[in-house]
Structure 1
Amino acid sequence: MKKILTLMIAVIAISFTSCEENENEVFDNVNGQTLAFFGNSASSLQVVVDGTGTLDVQIGVTTVSSSERTVVVSLDEEASTANTENYTISNYNVTIPANEYFGTLTIEGVDNSVEIAAETIVLNLESVSGGIVDEAQHVVSVFQICPVEETLFTGSYLITQTTPFVDGPSLSDGTVVELTADGLNRTFDTFNYPNYCSTTNSFTFTLVCNEIFVPTQDSNCVCNSGAGWFSAAATPGTYDISDDTSFELTFTDDTESDCSSPAQTTYLFTKQ
């Protein structure tokens, strides 16, 4: 049966409580309970081929203090897959300066045996001065990169889907999009399943040593949940650093089988 894609609609349920109950629900960022947390759930340590790379992982707390505090971080050795010869964490004790909410954990990468395919460093929070820690982990993807000038693979490109449609095109097939650069990342705005949805969404891919990697990202046009809809291809597209007039971008479509089975989708980008 032909699948029907629908936009996810967030429904906010409002419950009414007494004034007395509401008065007790006051957030106190000075005298309240301190919770330490990672600024986000994932990040990337990009290591230049035969070179190095650096990543700062942000760690925050929910309260402010007139004195500095220490957050203790640990490495989940069992869950991590990255070879320790390729990175160094010199200090697992992160300082939150006085009157601040955030500190940073620095990871230094070096290309001893880093591969293009990402390996992971999995981090946990162990303790924080005078408070508790969030149990959520932070996953760092470690992979090799090759420098690309930010002027390359940017500007106006016509995108054309070259693989069969799955209930229509996956992106804005047959339209011109504008690629912008942020390091090795390239981002453009597109419709997701334009036959059904008319709100644009950003799409990002990364140039990784002649291969085009698509990080896991969400769709805004789905059947149930758009989380992790697009992801890396089984066989990634490639690029030629000496010629950015055209290239092919391949990704896994509907990775979590939200509407149907995952599909390998390819778009041809032609510079205008």
Structure 2
Amino acid sequence: MKNLLKLLVLSLILSSCGDFEPVIYDNVNGQTLAFFDKSTSSLEIVIDDVGSVDVQIGSSTLSSSARTVTVSVVQESTTADPASYSFSPSVTIPANEYFGTLTISGVDINVETTAETLTLKLDSVEGSGITSSSTHAVSIFQICPVPTTSFVGNYLIEQQTPYVDGPTLSDGSVVTVEVGSSSTERVFNTFNYAQYCQTPNPFRFSLVCNEIISAINASNCTCGGDGLFFGTPVNGAPNETYDVNDDSVFFLTFGDDITTNCGPPVNTTYKFTKQ
């Protein structure tokens, strides 16, 4: 674990610097580098209520005493309303620990189902340490609660719209739908254009206040160029809806090839039947 942490820290330094002096980090006696454990997170705020998310802030070294890391907002890349979030600008990394926790609290003030962004940066770390220049982006959006036991499990998926050069996904197959990176996201593995590519690829969608919304999903089967993507319906078509109390059957409509990688985009609909 310590060796992996050293490699991670060294890679952060190398990727963020141009001309530099080689640095070998000693996790006990070396110079401290503070960094975000991940580059993104999601702050789900329940409609007319609140939410929170924890962000881990790491240190390349151990210390026998607690250390404080200061955090601030990058205003030029933040679109979220300041009234919708709050956090302490000081984060404590406990003694003899590598990580401290930044808790960001959210409240449903000017928050919609379309995500806004809160971008954070590290300003300082107590002692003679330095901070990574990498930022952390928090997506803030409104949700209607969906039990994590709903819309999961094995589903038969069947294409309802005409084929576009064959089936778009694993038509007629049983897939396993799982909870994704947030409580309202679902993900399953499927072929993309099975006539040409047969390596399973994750497909993500979200259950957003009675609408089923496709994420921007990159396909692993393309015609070259900048790649092929699936996304929300095109040409003004609506998203499908769902009943939070009945997950036995639902439909997912998404834009097929929204970047016109292989041809004009069309809308594709799949029926999901629980097995």
Indicate whether the TM-score tops 0.5: yes
Q: Equivalent residue of 1:85, what SS? A: helix
Q: Determine if the alignment matches structure 1 residue 80 to structure 2 residue 83.
A: no
- Report the counterpart of residue 122 of structure 1 in structure 2: 119
Q: Distance in 2 between matches of 1:223 and 1:151?
A: 37
- Report the counterpart of residue 98 of structure 2 in structure 1: 101
- Report the counterpart of residue 139 of structure 2 in structure 1: 141
- Indicate conservation of the 8 Å contact 1:249/1:266, yes or no: yes
String of CA shifts for 1:85-113, please: whole Å, max 9, x gaps.
22211x11111222222112111111133
Q: Which runs of 5+ in 2 are unaligned?
A: 1-21
Question: By how many angstroms is 1:213 displaced?
Answer: 2.9
- Tell me which amino acid in the other structure corresponds to 1:178: T
Question: By how many angstroms is 1:226 displaced?
Answer: 8.9
Question: By how many angstroms is 1:35 displaced?
Answer: 2.5
Q: Equivalent residue of 1:78, what SS? A: helix
- Report the counterpart of residue 214 of structure 2 in structure 1: 214
- 1:144-159 equivalent positions in 2, closer than 5 A: 144-159=142-157
Count of aligned residue pairs for this structure pair: 248
Q: Does the C-alpha gap of structure 1 residues 172 and 54 become closer, same or farther in structure 2, counting only changes over 3 Å?
A: same
- Report the counterpart of residue 110 of structure 1 in structure 2: 107
- 1:10-21 equivalent positions in 2, closer than 5 A: none
Q: Equivalent residue of 2:145, what SS? A: coil
Comparing both chains, which one has the higher relative contact order based on Cα–Cα distances under 8 Å and sequence gaps of 6 or more?
1
Q: Determine if the alignment matches structure 1 residue 244 to structure 2 residue 247.
A: yes
Q: Distance in 1 between matches of 2:271 and 2:43?
A: 29
Q: Distance in 2 between matches of 1:270 and 1:216?
A: 23
- Indicate conservation of the 8 Å contact 2:85/2:107, yes or no: yes
Q: Distance in 1 between matches of 2:42 and 2:206?
A: 11
Q: Determine if the alignment matches structure 1 residue 269 to structure 2 residue 266.
A: no
Question: By how many angstroms is 1:233 displaced?
Answer: 4.6
Question: By how many angstroms is 1:76 displaced?
Answer: 1.7
> Which of 48, 52, 55 does residue 53 from structure 2 map onto?
55
Q: Distance in 1 between matches of 2:35 and 2:152?
A: 36
String of CA shifts for 1:104-149, please: whole Å, max 9, x gaps.
2111111133211111111122222332222222111111111223
- Indicate conservation of the 8 Å contact 2:227/2:261, yes or no: no
Q: Equivalent residue of 2:118, what SS? A: strand
CA RMSD in angstroms comes to: 3.0
Q: Distance in 2 between matches of 1:81 and 1:238?
A: 28
Q: Distance in 2 between matches of 1:166 and 1:58?
A: 44
- Tell me which amino acid in the other structure corresponds to 2:140: V
- Indicate conservation of the 8 Å contact 1:126/1:133, yes or no: yes
Q: Does the C-alpha gap of structure 1 residues 217 and 173 become closer, same or farther in structure 2, counting only changes over 3 Å?
A: same
- Indicate conservation of the 8 Å contact 1:219/1:226, yes or no: no
Q: Distance in 2 between matches of 1:100 and 1:226?
A: 43
Q: Does the C-alpha gap of structure 1 residues 134 and 267 become closer, same or farther in structure 2, counting only changes over 3 Å?
A: farther
Q: Distance in 1 between matches of 2:79 and 2:219?
A: 28
Q: Which runs of 5+ in 1 are unaligned?
A: 1-23
Q: Distance in 2 between matches of 1:180 and 1:33?
A: 42
Higher percent of residues as helix: 2
- Indicate conservation of the 8 Å contact 1:218/1:226, yes or no: no
Identity %: 54
String of CA shifts for 1:44-68, please: whole Å, max 9, x gaps.
1111111111111122222323332
Q: Equivalent residue of 2:77, what SS? A: coil
- Report the counterpart of residue 195 of structure 1 in structure 2: 195
- Tell me which amino acid in the other structure corresponds to 1:135: S
